[in-house]
Amino acid sequence: MSLIEWRPEFSVGNLAVDHEHRELIDLINSLHEGIRQGAGREQVAAGLGEIYAQIAAHFALEEKIMRDAGYADYSPHKEDHESLLDQLADIIHSVEIGGEFAEDELSSRLNHWFSEHFRTHDAKLHRRL
């Protein structure tokens, strides 16, 4: 069962960005499924690391598009990107050092963070571009 299903509101109307949104959802769903099947701490940390790398690259693309377009809400959108990356880095660090992680909470947080970002900041970007 997928954690996040693709929805039209995740689209910003840019093929490259939309493709990356789909890839990010696939990565999050793969990690969620791995966790449900009992993935160990190393596998979870590796999955989170892959998600982090993909998200950082994706955010860089989005930020370039926003700068090139002179997007008025660039700063708050970028701040949300930085916040998401910081929170994800904290989780990765916690998992890597052997701290406890609650499987349901981790999946729930990933779902909430990225669905909420897509629904709010990215939807607003889509309307403006």
pLDDT digits (tens, 9 = 90+) for 2-43: 888 888 877 878 888 889 889 988 998 998 898 889 888 888
Cα(129)–Cα(106) distance, integer angstroms: 33
Q: Amino acid letter at 43?
A: Q
pLDDT at 67: 95
Average pLDDT, the chain: 86
Residue-by-residue DSSP string for 68-106? HHT-TTHHHHHHHHHHHHHHHHHHHHHHHTT----HHHH
The tokens describing 96, both together, are: 């890597």
pLDDT at 101: 66
Name the band, by pLDDT with cuts 50, 70 and 90, for residue 99: low
Name the burial class of residue 113, with classes exposed (0-12), middle (13-18) and buried (19+) by CB atoms within 10 angstroms of its CB.
middle
Q: Which CATH architecture group holds 14-128?
A: Up-down Bundle (1.20)
Whether the pLDDT of residue 100 is over 70: the answer is: no
pLDDT at 79: 95
